[in-house]
Structure 1
């Protein structure tokens, strides 16, 4: 671990259990320093505060991997164009972040920590600004019309949108969505299909609670509504250079990017076997099963295993999807793709590593998809 990474992680451990108050302090400083920036953010800041923490943690975790660090920040810079972020805003944000960290770390804060964060933030800001500049010829976001919406129970929906202009994404990536039902509040969702000739995009959303973007997408969105789509992000892409067989492990709506990868694979695959494990709590939570069954019927190289974590009176395997997948091995020469909540991805990666799967063969993007 480099000295910079060590200092960043040491200082972050001083505040990670008080992350929400740190984020509130940070945003208060930003809006005081430049009141016009308040107009770029939603009225309710609870979700936005958690987004700051996710971005900080992601940056700190990848600082020792220059390629991943640069790729993440470049795509984040492109994505922040939807907030109308300008280069001069980054100086305000940096100064306020350092001030908030100084206050919350307290007596442990010293010149080494401050210099490490200033150095790291300088690289973060420069990389994000460069990423935004590289995308100057692309829209900051895309407008899209909802053309299909289907509910599954009380809290889950699949819907399809038709962008007015093509969205240049790759199978496995995610985008942020904004709806008029929750203006200025964006949330990330994986695209659930490989690119199509007609440009349409499928999404899966699960509502947690009665409010928020996911709730609006599940309970309020209707055909004919317009949404906005942010820049594509994510690095969980199909490795077409590999000849190894593949295992896809999905938790809940983490099924979405894996279905997109399987669709892409189906366009060219002739020899690689693929195994999909789809974990939910109860049998009624299983959705998109007709599509998955159709894919397995059409492609003999694909197998599909539903896994139920809380229901035992079923013919489907019972347990956590990562545990069931690991027990179905051994998988010594397979490529893995894991998608779901951050907690599900962490647990699955740990279990697969314990089962002997090399860490560098596990691809993932740990985003909470609603």
Structure 2
């Protein structure tokens, strides 16, 4: 597997800078091989290729880590059931993927690279299909929007109840969401902002700044109570290890506070001995919408502390600067289990800060929906 991993990463450098062309070639070949597959994708394909390639990159980067490779692909297979993908589709996608890679790389593509991708794709698709087959849950849940609260022009907090079947998520995980009334067959991932509960109610924090995706815009501006969403299987590994006795550091940026809030809510149901330090960074004080709720939890649980910070408000009555910088004023964090949630830029900066504090990478958990 080491040789395969090396060849995958080496060959990826031949196409990485031309992802758009690879995406176009892949989909053109895919729909030529099986025109019926076009019905599984949204009418507007922009962005779909990026998600495909991110999945490929992640798979190739963890193929030499069998445990991560296995769990990531099984969860990806569970998630892809929402697209109604079956075994025959995986075979067709494999042909289209290899054709796209060959044509994008051109003369630099070798038989070794070709065989490595064949072997890797066979393993990838087998694990994805196994994950899909082993999951007893439905491909997605219908969820009724219960509440919808606008927090300024760009942000909304909404709750919805999953119908028909219990939705078994863990605090810190994320799900894919579709707004079928406005954007059928278009999905986007959002962290669940509350701990699991018997009422099957999920909370989402959604922000739609300039350049954000269509789904976020629909959820913030157009969705109303009573509408139905579709929610896919939970994914992500940013969950608390109950067997650990280490204290916890949780770092949130903007709406990245959502999974951190969920983690704290879950900890509130059982934690007695682990100190939990939450750092919550935003640009302006008005963006600290989750702070009142977190402070209520602080009052109820002596093991919890919350440190808010603003990066664009010098007169803020608290910490100022990027949250990764604020983090460095405290600590050390070497012996903590660390959780990081926010934009790709914020996650990168926080990972650097933790690395400079000699926090072992194995103790840092994060999920990012953008390239690091």
Residue 158 of structure 1 corresponds to which residue in structure 2? 157
Cα deviation, residue 218, structure 1: 0.6
User: What are the equivalent positions in structure 2 for 1:158-197 lying under 5 Å apart?
Assistant: 158-164=157-163, 165-179=165-179, 180-197=181-198
Gaps of 5+ in 1: none
Residue 29 of structure 2 corresponds to which residue in structure 1? 29
The whole-number CA distance in structure 2 between the counterparts of 1:338 and 1:352 is 10
Aligned partners of 1:340 and 1:367 also within 8 Å:
no
Residue 68 of structure 1 corresponds to which residue in structure 2? 68
User: Can you list the C-alpha shifts for 1:301-353, whole angstroms capped at 9, x where unaligned?
Assistant: 11111122222221232222122113311112111011122332222112211
The whole-number CA distance in structure 2 between the counterparts of 1:58 and 1:238 is 22
The whole-number CA distance in structure 2 between the counterparts of 1:83 and 1:138 is 15
Q: Is 2:247 aligned against 1:248?
A: no
Residue 125 of structure 2 corresponds to which residue in structure 1? 125
Q: Which runs of 4+ in 1 moved over 3 A?
A: 208-211
RMSD: 1.5
User: What are the equivalent positions in structure 2 for 1:350-369 lying under 5 Å apart?
Assistant: 350-368=352-370
Cα deviation, residue 368, structure 1: 4.8
Aligned partners of 1:340 and 1:368 also within 8 Å:
no
User: What are the equivalent positions in structure 2 for 1:280-359 lying under 5 Å apart?
Assistant: 280-359=282-361
Q: Is 2:203 aligned against 1:202?
A: yes
User: Can you list the C-alpha shifts for 1:204-242, whole angstroms capped at 9, x where unaligned?
Assistant: 111133760001001111101100000111111111111
Aligned partners of 1:188 and 1:368 also within 8 Å:
no
Residue 141 of structure 1 corresponds to which residue in structure 2? 140
Residue 275 of structure 2 corresponds to which residue in structure 1? 273
Compared CA separation, residues 205 and 368, structure 1 to 2 (3 A) = farther
Aligned partners of 1:77 and 1:127 also within 8 Å:
yes
The whole-number CA distance in structure 2 between the counterparts of 1:31 and 1:312 is 54
Aligned partners of 1:205 and 1:218 also within 8 Å:
yes
Which residue of the other structure, out of 204, 215, 218, is the alignment partner of 1:216? Answer: 218
The whole-number CA distance in structure 2 between the counterparts of 1:332 and 1:185 is 41
The whole-number CA distance in structure 1 between the counterparts of 2:309 and 2:370 is 20
Aligned residues: 368
Aligned partners of 1:171 and 1:195 also within 8 Å:
yes
Which residue of the other structure, out of 238, 241, 245, is the alignment partner of 2:240? Answer: 238
Cα deviation, residue 48, structure 1: 1.0
Residue 54 of structure 2 corresponds to which residue in structure 1? 54
Question: What TM-score does the superposition give when structure 1 sets the normalisation length?
Answer: 0.96
Aligned partners of 2:325 and 2:353 also within 8 Å:
yes
Question: What TM-score does the superposition give when structure 2 sets the normalisation length?
Answer: 0.96
Gaps of 5+ in 2: none
